[in-house]
Amino acid sequence: RLAEAGYAGADKLVPLTFLIIIATVVIQSATARPLARVLGVTEPPPRGVLLVGANNVGRAIGQALKGLEIPVLLADANWDNINAARMDGLPVYYGNPTSEHAERHLELTGLGRLMAVSPRSDLNTLACLHFAKEFGQHNVFRLPPGERDLRLPAEIRRRHRKDNTLFSDDATYSKLASLLAQGGSVKATKLTEEFGYADYVERRDAATVPLFAMDPRGRIRIFGGEEDPEPGPGWIMVALVPNGEQRRNDAS
Q: Give the span between the Cα atoms of 235 and 192, in whole angstroms.
A: 8
Q: Give the span between the Cα atoms of 62 and 151, in whole angstroms.
A: 30
Predicted TM-score (pTM) of this structure: 0.73
pLDDT interval class at 206 (50, 70, 90): confident
Residue range(s) in the chain whose domain bears CATH number 3.40.50.720: 48-251
Let me know how long the chain is.
252
Q: How many CB atoms lie within 10 A of CB 33?
A: 10
Which residues is 210 bridged to in the sheet? 239
Q: Is 111 exposed, middle or buried (0-12, 13-18, 19+ CB in 10 A)?
A: buried
Q: 251 or 145, which is more confident? A: 145
pLDDT interval class at 137 (50, 70, 90): confident
Q: Is 237 helix (H, G, I), strand (E, B) or coil?
A: strand
Q: Are strands 140-142 and 111-116 parallel, antiparallel or unpaired?
A: parallel
Average pLDDT rounded to a whole number, residues 84-100: 91
Give, to the nearest 10 degrees, the angle between helix 79-87 and helix 56-67. Answer: 30
- 48-251 homologous superfamily: NAD(P)-binding Rossmann-like Domain (3.40.50.720)
- pLDDT of 246 > 70? The answer is no
